[in-house]
Amino acid sequence: MQKPREWLREKSIAKQVLKDANVVLEVVDARIPLETRNSTVEQLAKERNKDLIVVLNKTDLVPEDFLKKAKDYIEKEYKTILFSAIQKKGIDDLMKILKQIAKEKKLIKVGILGYPNVGKSSLINALKKRKIATTSPKPGMTRGKQLIKLDDRIFLIDTPGIITLELPEDLALKGSWIPDKLEDPVEVAIKFLQKVIEKAPQALKQLYKVEVSSDPVETLENIGNKLNYKVKGGEIDYDRTAKKILWDWLKGNLRAYWLE
Ligand SMILES: Nc1nc2c(ncn2[C@@H]2O[C@H](COP(=O)(O)OP(=O)(O)OP(=O)(O)O)[C@@H](O)[C@H]2O)c(=O)[nH]1
Ligand SMILES: [Mg+2]
């Protein structure tokens, strides 16, 4: 997902999946469930009369009471499943719904959509109970689309899953862009820290064992100091510190979460 042309190709795949599938699973990151919903996906599913189920994946990274709040919120619009591909949670709930739909329709194709790195391929592996789709902490792992037979009636479509023309800087805030490929990781990390300081400063304290100041730049410095990331002359290596924080977010090491 580097060049615009490639991006548009991925986008058209997602659109095609929305056409082919009977059911759409919109996979979101349970840490930021609303930010990783995609209005284009939801809009297109609505227009095409497809069942859409929101799957909150990575629920192992957030507390129960937050999950309940998030589920109640999203369930006003869509059926919502709490899932953890890593801990193999939510599989039965999801299978029950899919089997129910399959019974009515004889055969269903389930399109798996969602931002890069939310765990679409991991979810497929969890349902399939073996490693069939390639997963990776690097966003943009899955290219093209892959049809996977779950049972006689249910087929899953693994995809890059994204319908968006958002900028890399915005995708990085969602853990959906490789930090090393950002033009200015420091700027993005500062913006990210600002949000975390506001919503979940304890997550920074817990992971980096630092003082969290209300100033994101100062906090970035504190983290760089703590990690001992320095350039020649003893100055903090801002670039390296920024990338590290964004990678920790992407990899689930940083357990911040918020609804809005
Ligand atoms: N903590 C946690 N991590 C998860 C979970 N599911 C997936 N991951 C991790 O998230 C990263 C991305 O998983 P993938 O399944 O490759 O995500 P994807 O949505 O298919 O990503 P793309 O193919 O790049 O769009 C991997 O490092 C997974 O190990 C989960 O339930 N909990
Ligand atoms: Mg994938």
Model pLDDT for residues 157-201, shown as the tens digit of each residue: 988 766 677 889 999 999 999 999 999 999 999 999 999 999 999
CA end-to-end span of the chain: 27
> Strand ranges (DSSP E) for the chain?
23-29, 51-57, 79-82, 108-113, 146-149, 154-158
d(CA 32, CA 14): 22
**Pair 33, 151 in one domain:** yes
* Residue nearest atom 14 in ligand 1 by C-alpha distance: 119
Provide the residue range defining the domain that includes 175: 168-251
Q: Give domain status of residue 163, yes or no.
A: no
DSSP 8-state symbol, 116: T
Q: What is the pLDDT of residues 192-237, one digit of tens each?
A: 999 999 999 999 999 999 999 999 999 999 999 999 999 999 999 9
Q: Give domain status of residue 196, yes or no.
A: yes
Q: Give domain status of residue 32, yes or no.
A: yes
What's the CATH code of the domain at 107? 3.40.50.300
d(CA 132, CA 121): 8
Q: How far is the CA of 227 from the centre of ligand 2 (A)?
A: 31
Q: How far is the CA of 47 from the centre of ligand 2 (A)?
A: 26
Q: How far is the CA of 160 from the centre of ligand 2 (A)?
A: 6
Residue among 88, 136, 247, 255 to mutate when testing ligand 1 (max atoms within 8 A of CB): 136
Query: Span 82-109, mean pLDDT?
Result: 94
Residue 252 pLDDT > 60: yes
Placement of tokens 């798996």 in the chain: 112
Q: Give domain status of residue 63, yes or no.
A: yes
Residue 122 pLDDT > 90: yes
Q: Give domain status of residue 256, yes or no.
A: no
* Residue nearest atom 26 in ligand 1 by C-alpha distance: 137
Q: What is the pLDDT of residue 3?
A: 55
DSSP 8-state symbol, 157: E
Against a cut of 0.85, is the pTM above it? yes
